[in-house]
Amino acid sequence: MHTSPTHRPTRPSDRRRSVHLFPGQGDFSVSSLVRGARADDGVLSAVRQVFREVDDIAVERGLPPLGPWLLGPSPPSGRDLAQAATGVPQLALFGASVAVHQALCAARGAPSAVVGVSFGEIAALTAAGVLTVHDGARAAHDLALVLASCPGGLTLLSCSEESVRRLLERAGAVDAVVAVVNDDRSVVVAGPVPDLVRVEKTAADADVAAARLRLPFSSHHPSLASQSEVFAASLRARTWSTARFPVYSAVAGRRYRPDDDLARRLADCLVRSAHVPTVLYQAARHRPDVLFEAGTGHALATSARRVLSTDSAPPVHAPLAEPDFPW
């Protein structure tokens, strides 16, 4: 499977101040991960190393190992992952994000800070050393078990938060809420499926693009308080360490502090909305030379470019989504 890899030794000019961005579950591409691992030795090494640890937990939880499947001759499609056992997609996304982070660290040095969006916070906290890879994988699997009991869905709307709130009102979708604000042109709403159908129809009438996320659950919704408590309880069984660098949470709207109850804050992702621009502005105060999306897609990188769109804004890259990215 691994043909003609490239290996680029770290150059001093590569080690610039960076911020790593950890996306949530709506933008995951298996093909990007496989292509990156096949194209570059550093990415392959990181993926192998991380998934060895992730697979310890997969086996512990009664799931088949993911690494040999992802790196084998016939890797799964996104549909294959979605149809796999509960927890497999979450473990795959978690492992991929941590692996991209580790590959970037090996090639360009550790980041000055990380930003976690929604349940990308699990990988962000793991990258910062707050959780071990083993405990991060356990948290990802625990989350999957909880999400299986979260009814409803999520819809992406291509407009501003204010426009979304007007659409919700016009649609009469009283149980739908703003779940994630990505930027001024991308907002996710959560709620019961009938409400989402009304929102999508109202959006179409208003010439606003709407797309139901292919995720069989809801999140960032106040009705999920009981599920949030279950998830928080599972997280309290993990060992929490001091972060090696600042961790910004789009749900908390700020950098985590040493006195934060991180189990509770992470479980807040089930019941509270996430506002990405707020923490991107805060992370930009570290004056990074570059921002990297530590995931397999590019949606978060796109939002970061829109939010930080000034003449002096640093470049933003989504390495696995850029076939010619210079690892």
Name residue, tokens 């934060």. Answer: 260
Average pLDDT in the chain? 94
- pLDDT band for position 12 (cuts 50, 70, 90): very low
Residue 96 has pLDDT above 90, yes or no: yes
- pLDDT band for position 312 (cuts 50, 70, 90): confident
Q: In this predicted structure, what is the pLDDT of residue 14?
A: 52
Residue type, 67: G
Q: Which CATH code for domain 16-149+221-321? A: 3.40.366.10
CB-CB contact of 254 with 247 (8 Å): no
Q: In this predicted structure, what is the pLDDT of residue 89?
A: 93
Q: In this predicted structure, what is the pLDDT of residue 7?
A: 43
> CA distances (Å), 29 to each of 80, 81, 178, 201, 250, in order?
12, 10, 25, 28, 22
- Write down how long the chain is: 327
- pLDDT band for position 82 (cuts 50, 70, 90): confident
Residue 203 has pLDDT above 70, yes or no: yes
Q: In this predicted structure, what is the pLDDT of residue 15?
A: 58
Name the pairing type of β-strands 290-293 and 18-22.
Answer: parallel
The per-residue DSSP string of 277-292 comes to HHHHHHHHTT--SEEE
Residue 13 has pLDDT above 90, yes or no: no
Q: What global pTM score does this model have?
A: 0.93
The CATH class that applies to domain 153-212 reads: alpha beta
> Could you tell me what percentage of the chain is helix, strand and coil, using 3-state DSSP and rounding each to the nearest 5?
45, 15, 40
Q: Which string of b and e fits 11-49 if b means at least 16 CB within 10 Å?
A: eeebeeebbbbbbbbbbbbbebbbbbbbbbebbbbbbeb
Q: In this predicted structure, what is the pLDDT of residue 27?
A: 79
Q: In this predicted structure, what is the pLDDT of residue 8?
A: 45
Q: Determine the Cα–Cα distance for residues 315 and 327; give it in Å rounded to an integer.
A: 15
Residue 161 has pLDDT above 90, yes or no: yes
Q: Determine the Cα–Cα distance for residues 116 and 111; give it in Å rounded to an integer.
A: 13
> In the chain, which ranges are E strands?
18-22, 113-116, 153-157, 177-183, 186-191, 210-212, 247-249, 254-255, 274-275, 290-293, 316-317
Q: In this predicted structure, what is the pLDDT of residue 11?
A: 43
Residue 154 has pLDDT above 50, yes or no: yes
Q: What is the mean pLDDT of residues 263-275?
A: 98
Mean pLDDT is lowest, of 51-55, 74-78, 179-183, for 74-78
Residue 234 has pLDDT above 50, yes or no: yes
Residue 3 has pLDDT above 60, yes or no: no
Angle value at C-alpha 109, between 42 and 15, nearest 5 degrees = 105
Domains of the chain: which residue ranges? 16-149+221-321, 153-212
Is-same-fold flag (16-149+221-321; 153-212)? no
> CA distances (Å), 315 to each of 117, 276, 295, 304, 312, in order?
19, 17, 17, 9, 9
Residue 208 has pLDDT above 60, yes or no: yes
Model confidence pLDDT, tens digit, residues 137-151: 999 999 999 999 999
Q: In this predicted structure, what is the pLDDT of residue 310?
A: 82
**What count of Cα atoms within 13 Å lies in the side-chain half-sphere of residue 54?**
31
More confident residue, 286 or 310: 286
Q: What is the mean pLDDT of residues 112-133?
A: 98
Query: Over the Cα atoms of the chain, what is R_g?
Result: 19
